[in-house]
Amino acid sequence: MSKKIGVGYAYVSAQEKKYVNEALDAGRLSQGEFVYKFETQFAKLHGQRFGIACNSGTSALHVGLEALKEKYGWAHGSEVIVPAITFIATSNACLHAGLTPVFVDIDPITYNMNPDLIEAKINQRTVAIMPVHTFGQPCEMDPIVAAAKKHGLAIIEDCAEAHFSTYKGNPVGSFGEISGFSTYVAHTITTGIGGVICTDDSNLAEISRSLIAHGRACTCERCVASDPSRVCKLRMQTAIDKRFMMVRLGYSYRIGELEGALGLGQLENRNKIMTRRKQNAKYLTLRLKKYEDVVQLPYYPAYVDHSFMMYPIVVKNTASFTRKEFTEHLEKNNIESRPMLPLLNQPIYVKLFGNIERDYPAAHWINDNGFYIGCHHGLDEEDLERIIECIEGFIDSIKNASSVKFGTK
């Protein structure tokens, strides 16, 4: 049996190992200098002043919403506009923050929130729009920003899958007031587990840093990386050390130095990682283009820099095969595939929101016909050829069988 070609890959170089060993040798595993350097550099690469590292992309979105809720005094149950295709963490974060997700159908070509459908979803209860840069492709942010400004809405970007992507030259994560990224193991760069909250707003940064650490009063960003043997004067301005004064109902969402060390090394290798992903996606598209009569391949406009966390494929209605047949063939040949982020048909969402999937025809089509495979930086030319040969063999055999059946060959 040939080796399995998975949808994700974690590249760990000698640099990451060096930093992790330095963290171990330093004897400090809780948040410190490595975490501070990682979150600061990560934020800067996405055009933001403040980065707050946390334990997942889901936590990043949850805390980002909670921070906005505190800043603006949003009422419990206020509405946040989200796409009808996304990983469930996006809308779950709204629910966990006491907010109501309102779904908008997607563009069937880009798989991102369709900006033309946003206006119809806005009402007096709407407080924010949460665009998701799906699969690493930036949303059409100009009309989303315009809608937010017109109606006085906040924007919180879900950038979990889109590290270092750009829209018209501007990095994702820089269009709204706050954004959330994931650095889970299968993502573009990884800290093993983790996420990052990015913002230019010092108030939102302070609230976020407090919330990830049980709601404590001491939120100085530099304090986390200071020598623990030194006493910060700011901490001692109150009756008790501000590190142990809780002013919010917070969470335990922090990461430690090992994750920070791994992330710092990943940032230094980001160009190698991103270049290989884009090359692999381009190669797959070039070789599979001849099948565009039956499958939809990734599309993105020239002003977008796609980071290709994965490679999405949709079986068109013109095909004489189903997604199930296609993906079963891939899996039998040890090529992993996954459905394309079904959301509205999830059992828990049917229970919460009812059978609403058919109200979102583009999302419904994707749920029935879409899947993705890997195009990550761990794939070499031999892996790509295996994928292509497997797809060619499947589609060609079905086309040939159809030609014989209908007497066209």
Shared domain for 257 and 109, answered yes or no, is yes
Range 7-34 average pLDDT: 93
Question: Is residue 89's pLDDT more than 90?
Answer: yes
Domain annotation covers residue 6: no
Q: What are phi and psi of 315, to 5 degrees?
A: -80, 120
Domain annotation covers residue 185: yes
Domain annotation covers residue 395: yes
**Among candidate residues 268, 300, 322, the one where a domain is terminated:** 268
pLDDT of residue 219: 63
Shared domain for 230 and 301, answered yes or no, is no
Shared domain for 262 and 305, answered yes or no, is no
Range 352-363 average pLDDT: 97
Shared domain for 141 and 40, answered yes or no, is yes
Shared domain for 104 and 220, answered yes or no, is yes
Q: What are phi and psi of 187, to 5 degrees?
A: -90, 175
Question: Is residue 298's pLDDT more than 80?
Answer: yes
Reported in sequence order, the residue ranges of 46-151 that DSSP labels E, i.e. its strands, are 50-54, 79-83, 100-104, 126-129
Distance separating alpha carbons of residues 147 and 50, to the nearest angstrom: 25
Provide, rounded to the nearest whole percent, the portion of the chain with pLDDT above 70: 92
Domain annotation covers residue 168: yes
Q: What is the pLDDT of residues 376-401, one digit of tens each?
A: 999 999 999 999 999 999 999 998 87
**Among candidate residues 237, 253, 268, the one where a domain is terminated:** 268
CATH of the domain at 238: 3.40.640.10
Q: What are phi and psi of 142, to 5 degrees?
A: -55, -55
**Among candidate residues 244, 268, 292, the one where a domain is terminated:** 268
Range 296-312 average pLDDT: 97
Domain annotation covers residue 8: no
Shared domain for 111 and 20, answered yes or no, is yes
Domain annotation covers residue 409: no
Shared domain for 241 and 285, answered yes or no, is no
Domain annotation covers residue 392: yes
Range 99-124 average pLDDT: 98
Shared domain for 250 and 362, answered yes or no, is no
Residue 80, helix vs strand vs coil: strand
The pLDDT-based confidence of 146 (bands split at 50, 70, 90) is very high
Domain annotation covers residue 130: yes
Strand partners, 216: 246
Q: How many CA atoms lie within 13 A of 180 on its CB side?
A: 30
Question: Is residue 226's pLDDT more than 80?
Answer: no
Sign of CA dihedral 47, 50, 53, 54: negative
Instruction: Give the mean pLDDT of the chain.
Output: 93
Under a CB-based contact definition with an 8 Å cutoff, are residues 187 and 163 in contact? yes
List b or e across 29-58, with b for residues whose CB sees 16 or more CB atoms inside 10 angstroms: eebbbbbbbbbbbbbebbbbebbbbbbbbb
The tally of domains found in the chain comes to 2
Q: How many CA atoms lie within 13 A of 109 on its CB side?
A: 5
- The least confident of 237-241, 251-255, 287-291, 404-408 is 404-408
Shared domain for 67 and 190, answered yes or no, is yes
pLDDT of residue 230: 57
Report helix, strand and coil shares of the chain as percent, to nearest 5: 45, 15, 40
**Domain of 158, in residue numbers:** 14-268
Shared domain for 327 and 276, answered yes or no, is yes
Shared domain for 350 and 253, answered yes or no, is no
CATH of the domain at 331: 3.90.1150.10
Shared domain for 105 and 217, answered yes or no, is yes
